[in-house]
């Protein structure tokens, strides 16, 4: 069984890639179950209910989130109605939404857990303590566990990979929007990558028009972010092959697809 985990879907380009190409990408990769990070899907910030529905019917099976989860004001009101959305677990108690969920999929129970890092991130509770509290019961309730660790620093993400090695089937990083080249199976069997990358515009700075970020960095004045809409666009993620007998990952491979205007007119 193959699991496709997709990096941060950014703005309209990201949504269009998922809506137009996810079925063919899934078929080509023979992917069964799809997890995508949706924290930047609506204008680069957060996830509206309309966009959540579009992505879930693409079909993405589960949307994970990150530090931008609350950027669309409506999210706190609708998130509890969607068991296919998980937001970082380590927000304070009482925060709307859920940090993990177990999905029944073709006879398998797939747990998905989302957590946020602490280094250069919002000041949330320790993800390691949060993992201690839920991972044992999640492992009992599921046949395999997929973790999206949304964090800035490579060190914190690699450390989390080792922390959950041998327990989670996969620990993948998100948030930096740049795919790392370190996809591998860790010593105790967990499939790992430091960052999945991003699904959205290839040019621009992490999804935003380059000239706007250059203006901000050069003038130190506030600017209004605008998503780069021009093609080429990119889809980034990993494909994890799970042995259905042992329920352990056999392999993890990077997915890095570029969609160009010439190949795909009309998008
Ligand atoms: Fe992001
Ligand atoms: Fe983020």
Which residues does 53 contact at the CB level (< 8 Å), separation at least 6? none
Residue 127 within a domain: yes
The verdict on residue 266 lying in a domain is no
Alpha carbon of 265 to ligand 2 centroid (Å): 30
For residue 198, give the nearest of 241, 123, 256 by alpha carbon: 256
Range of the domain at 160: 2-259
Looking at residue 17, its pLDDT comes to 96
By the 10 Å C-beta count (0-12 exposed, 13-18 middle, 19+ buried), 68 is classed as: buried
Distance (Å) of CA 21 to CA 1, 60, 169: 21, 12, 26
Dist. CA 102–CA 108, nearest whole Å: 10
What is the spatial distance between Cα 92 and Cα 119, in angstroms, rounded to a whole number? Answer: 17
Q: What is the pLDDT of residue 262?
A: 74
Output the pLDDT for position 266: 60
Q: Does the annotation count 68 as an active-site position?
A: yes
Asked whether residue 267 is assigned to any structural domain, the reply reads: no
What is the structure's pLDDT at 261? 78
C-alpha 199 – ligand 1 centre gap (Å): 10
Ligand 1 center from residue 206 Cα (angstroms): 8
Do the domain assignments include residue 264? no
Q: Domains in the chain: how many in total?
A: 1
Q: Which of 68, 101, 175, 177 is catalytic?
A: 68
CATH number of domain containing 37:
3.60.21.10
What's the 243 CA to ligand 1 centre distance in angstroms? 30
Does residue 123 belong to any structural domain of this protein? yes
Integer Cα distance of 254 and 239 in angstroms: 6
What residues does the ion ligand 2 have nearby, CB within 5 Å? 66-67, 175
- The answer to whether residue 62 sits within a structural domain is yes
Q: Which ligand is nearest to the CA of 40?
A: 1
Gyration radius (Cα) of the chain, Å = 17
User: Which ligand lies nearest to the CA atom of residue 6 in the structure?
Assistant: 1
Contacts of 189 (CB under 8 A, 6+ apart): 165, 166, 248, 249
Task: Kindly give the parts of the chain with pLDDT less than 70.
Answer: 264-267
């Amino acid at each position: 069984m193959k699991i496709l985990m997709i990096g941060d879907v950014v703005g309209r380009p990201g949504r269009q890639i998922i809506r137009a190409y996810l079925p063919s990408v899934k078929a080509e990769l023979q992917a069964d179950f799809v997890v995508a990070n949706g924290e930047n899907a609506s204008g680069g910030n957060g996830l509206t209910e309309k966009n959540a529905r579009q992505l879930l019917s693409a079909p993405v099976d589960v949307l994970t989130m990150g530090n931008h989860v609350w950027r669309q004001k409506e999210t706190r009101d609708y998130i509890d109605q969607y068991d296919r959305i998980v937001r970082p677990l380590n927000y304070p108690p009482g925060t709307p939404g859920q940090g993990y969920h177990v999905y029944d999929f073709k006879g398998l129970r797939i747990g998905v857990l989302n957590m946020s890092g602490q280094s250069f991130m919002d000041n949330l509770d320790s993800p390691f303590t949060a993992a201690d509290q839920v991972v044992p019961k999640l492992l009992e309730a599921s046949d395999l566990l997929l973790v999206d660790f949304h964090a800035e620093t490579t060190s914190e993400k690699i450390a989390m990979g080792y922390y959950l090695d041998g327990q989670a089937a996969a620990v993948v990083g998100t948030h930096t929007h740049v795919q790392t080249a370190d996809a591998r199976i860790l010593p105790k069997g967990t499939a790992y990558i430091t960052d999945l990358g991003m699904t959205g515009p290839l040019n621009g700075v992490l999804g935003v028009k380059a000239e706007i970020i250059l203006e901000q960095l050069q003038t130190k004045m506030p600017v209004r972010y605008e998503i780069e809409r021009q093609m080429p666009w990119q889809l980034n993620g990993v494909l994890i092959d799970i042995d259905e007998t042992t329920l352990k990952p056999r392999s993890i491979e990077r997915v890095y697809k570029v969609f160009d205007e010439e190949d795909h007119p009309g998008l």
